Copies of this chain bind each other. A is one copy, B any other.
């Protein structure tokens, strides 16, 4: 009762394996009747060509790998949904790898992919460490790589990002116009390119409006809820900011929790805006002002660019560096 193979099927039909193979590959030179006979019998015996074998023969896996820092996160899950949809259309399969922002895992995944498991990679980087040699190996193996959102600048490959600098500038300016004088910038990893870019927008907006840039107002958080809670509690007590710009959704949530706890009223005492892909931002208490990235669309575009590269031999062009626009949506948390 085990899986049947092409040989057995051919035997049952008194045909050669080539003919059977042809029936499945939409080949030209095959008698219509024979083909039908084959497909009918295949159905009856529940035969399907073995992918492992045919992929090996054709030297491709019909699979793409998606590497993300986390998955239980609105932004990434929406991106993945976008990627999955495109892959499905192309009849490709999607492997998921979660790095938990861990550099070693990232290296390990990429390294293991160097072995025929995937034909291409879409990834949002962990941002730890500075040695990106392991990624260059992909290139030498002609395995196209697309970065989205969090990228390594020193790797020359397609990058799908959003206009982080402008958005951050706008968000900060938005808080200033709402009357904030002491705006805290919440970040998870200052060294990550994305953290830097967003911070520059913040700094330049302060400058433009003649507000001083104060180092302490840049609050370096972690990926851990508990830890962030402590960090923010301390910071809020000491600095007493009247505005918070969270560079990551999670930090906005922590801001809410801490504010509840300390009796800080949003938006009266503290105005908040955050990068976020949360679809229910309007349902929060108070509704959260957001800079919303086109997550789903980023997934779709990343996948399309990857497929184009795979179809054309693995090369990218300058036009494969896309910068999409995020949307600033003002809600109650920033005084709207």
On A, residues with C-beta under 8 Å from B are 1-3, 46, 48-53, 55-56, 61, 63, 70-74, 77-78, 80-81, 84-85, 88, 93-98, 105, 111-112, 114-117, 137, 140-142, 253, 256-257, 279-280, 282-287, 296
Contact = CB atoms under 8 A, between A and B. Distances in A.
28 contacts: A1-B140, A2-B142, A3-B141, A46-B140, A46-B141, A49-B115, A50-B116, A52-B116, A52-B117, A53-B56, A53-B116, A63-B95, A70-B81, A71-B81, A72-B74, A72-B77, A72-B78, A77-B77, A80-B96, A88-B105, A93-B117, A94-B95, A95-B96, A253-B280, A253-B283, A257-B282, A284-B284, A285-B286
A114 B284 contact: no
A255 to B, nearest CB: 10
Contact of A137 (B46, B81, B279, B286): B46
A139 to B, nearest CB: 9
Copies of the polypeptide in the assembly? 2
Contacts of A74: 72
Nearest to A65: B93
Given A51-B115, A51-B117, 14 more contacts: A1-B140, A3-B114, A46-B141, A48-B114, A48-B115, A52-B56, A52-B116, A72-B74, A72-B296, A85-B98, A253-B280, A256-B280, A256-B283, A284-B285
A85 B105 CA distance: 12
B46 A52 contact: no
Contacts of A105: 88
Contacts of A141: 2-3, 46
Contacts of A46: 114, 137, 140-141
Contacts of A70: 81
Contacts of A3: 114-116, 141
